């Protein structure tokens, strides 16, 4: 029996052992490449974070970010810069496009990498901070703090801190060729092959990391204008819910909008967002069980659980394959629950469309025969029983005429005459 315990512990050891512990040495010539094209947003951070983790797990000799951006939000920029500073893997940021740009937030990311390369005709700099929605110049306090931060980045990578500070205070912008001459970057190169040659990497094996569907989706949701819309709609929906007491619809939707907006501006992290979505999904499924109906809570709960799974970050003690297997297992279970809700909902709709077979409502639409002249009230025979009846239009209906039951109120049938 003891041998089974030993085998079980060995399996657990290899499942939870970090990949970095097993294969710490980088593989020579292996280069992982990610591409950031557009504004730096909360969704951009999740893509870069996954790309860095994948490059580390793949034992990359070098991790490269191809960059082209006009700027972005401060919080995700800080997180990406910290990510590049803290990783032990060699990193490079390359403003690769002709006439490409790494303005504002892009300049901070460029200077945070081990190696900074820029296309000779591309431009960098213009990093003076602006207010998020008004695009006015930020206060002196924010400018000073940002200037201090960019000086620290330059000093950490042995670059000229005075030129770096001018990017912020004077809104200085330079071409790749000018930046190379001033020594603020490591080189002005036209393509990735030139970059790798400068770093002494020959016969490289290049692996590109593409964003997943969910990363593209969340990147879209984190656009500053959408974030402001989510915050506005979420606040209005919650106010409406408190005024009307209808928390089941407007309150719930408002909470989700507000949650997404808070993540978009960096108040809560992607991981916290995932935990809240998971908790919300479990709560909604619990509500669906307590008050079964059309499946509104069920569908919303399943969607929340799926978002929660994809927003939770992978724990470093899980191997990638093991984590992916568990994720697919959970998604399979959620898919099964979703199919169950669809079946239940179809049955519920079918039930509502089915004509009642018992009770007074089952008599609507049936034919009856007039026993006592309706003027407009009288009596009719329905299923061998005598009922009090009344003409719907108030007109007289003679004895022995056929009538159709239109509605029932109490013990009175309201009928209309059937034409021969």
Which structural domain range is residue 391 located in? Answer: 360-417
Q: Domain check: are 399 and 279 in the same one?
A: no
pLDDT, tens only, 343-390: 555 555 555 555 555 556 677 888 888 888 888 888 988 877 888 898
Q: How much is the pLDDT for 2?
A: 42
pLDDT, tens only, 289-341: 665 554 566 666 666 666 665 555 543 333 344 344 444 544 455 555 555 55
Asked whether residue 11 is assigned to any structural domain, the reply reads: no
Beta partners for 115?
Answer: 92
Report the range of poorest mean pLDDT among 25-39, 43-57, 240-254: 240-254
**pLDDT-derived band at 65, boundaries 50, 70, 90:** very high
Total number of domains in the chain: 3
Q: Domain check: are 64 and 195 in the same one?
A: yes
Percent of the chain clearing pLDDT 90 (strictly above): 30
Distance CA 307, CA 277 (A): 7
Q: Domain check: are 40 and 167 in the same one?
A: yes
Q: How much is the pLDDT for 3?
A: 43
How many other β-carbons are positioned within 10 Å of the β-carbon of residue 213?
8
Distance CA 307, CA 281 (A): 9
Residue 407 above 80 pLDDT? Answer: yes
Whole-number average pLDDT of the chain = 77
* 412 compared with 295, residue with greater pLDDT: 412
pLDDT, tens only, 98-157: 989 999 999 999 999 999 999 999 999 998 887 654 456 667 788 888 899 999 999 999
Asked whether residue 117 is assigned to any structural domain, the reply reads: yes
Average pLDDT over residues 26-47: 88
Beta partners for 408?
Answer: 413
* 257 compared with 104, residue with greater pLDDT: 104
Distance CA 191, CA 60 (A): 19
Asked whether residue 317 is assigned to any structural domain, the reply reads: yes
Average pLDDT over residues 200-204: 88
Q: Domain check: are 206 and 169 in the same one?
A: yes
pLDDT, tens only, 69-79: 988 888 889 99
Helices (H), 183-223: 192-198, 213-221
Distance CA 168, CA 19 (A): 40
User: pTM of whole model > 0.95?
Assistant: no
Q: Specify the CATH number for the domain of residue 45.
A: 3.90.226.10
């Amino acid at each position: 029996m003891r041998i089974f315990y030993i085998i079980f512990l060995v399996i657990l050891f290899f499942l939870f052992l970090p990949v970095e512990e097993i294969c710490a040495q980088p593989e020579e010539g292996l280069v992982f490449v990610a591409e950031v094209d557009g504004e730096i947003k909360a969704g951009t951070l999740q893509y870069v974070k996954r790309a860095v983790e994948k490059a580390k797990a793949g034992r990359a000799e070098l991790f490269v970010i191809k960059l082209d951006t006009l700027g972005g939000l401060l919080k995700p920029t800080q997180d990406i810069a910290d990510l590049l500073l803290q990783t032990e893997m060699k990193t490079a940021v390359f403003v690769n496009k002709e006439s490409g740009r790494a303005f504002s937030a892009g300049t901070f990311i460029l200077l945070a990498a081990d190696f900074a390369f820029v296309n000779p005709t591309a431009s960098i700099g213009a990093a003076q901070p602006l207010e998020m929605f008004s695009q006015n110049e930020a206060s002196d306090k924010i400018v000073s703090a940002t200037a201090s931060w960019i000086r620290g980045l330059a000093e950490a990578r042995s670059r000229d801190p005075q030129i770096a500070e001018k990017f912020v205070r004077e809104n200085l912008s330079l071409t790749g060729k000018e930046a190379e001459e001033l020594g603020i970057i490591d080189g002005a190169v036209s393509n990735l092959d030139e970059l790798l040659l400068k770093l002494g990497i020959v016969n490289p094996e290049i692996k590109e990391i593409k964003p997943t569907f969910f990363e593209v989706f969340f990147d879209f949701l984190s656009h500053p204008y959408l974030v402001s819309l989510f915050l506005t709609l979420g606040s209005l929906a919650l106010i409406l819910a408190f005024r009307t007491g209808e928390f089941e619809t407007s309150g719930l939707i408002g909470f989700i909008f507000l949650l997404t907006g808070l993540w978009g501006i960096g108040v809560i992290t992607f991981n916290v967002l995932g935990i809240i979505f998971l908790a919300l999904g479990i709560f909604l499924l619990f509500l669906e069980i307590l008050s079964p109906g059309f499946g509104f809570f069920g569908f919303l709960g399943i969607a929340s659980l799926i978002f929660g799974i994809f927003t939770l970050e992978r724990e470093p003690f899980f191997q990638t394959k093991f984590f992916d297997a568990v994720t697919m297992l959970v998604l399979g279970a959620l898919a099964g629950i979703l199919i169950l809700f669809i079946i239940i909902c179809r049955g519920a709709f079918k039930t509502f469309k089915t004509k009642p077979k018992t009770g007074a409502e089952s008599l609507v639409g049936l034919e009856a025969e007039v026993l006592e002249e309706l003027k407009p009230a009288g009596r009719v025979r329905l299923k061998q029983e005598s009922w009090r009846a009344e003409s719907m239009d108030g007109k007289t209906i003679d004895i022995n005429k056929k009538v159709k039951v239109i509605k029932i109120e109490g013990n009175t049938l309201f009928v209309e005459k059937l034409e021969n």
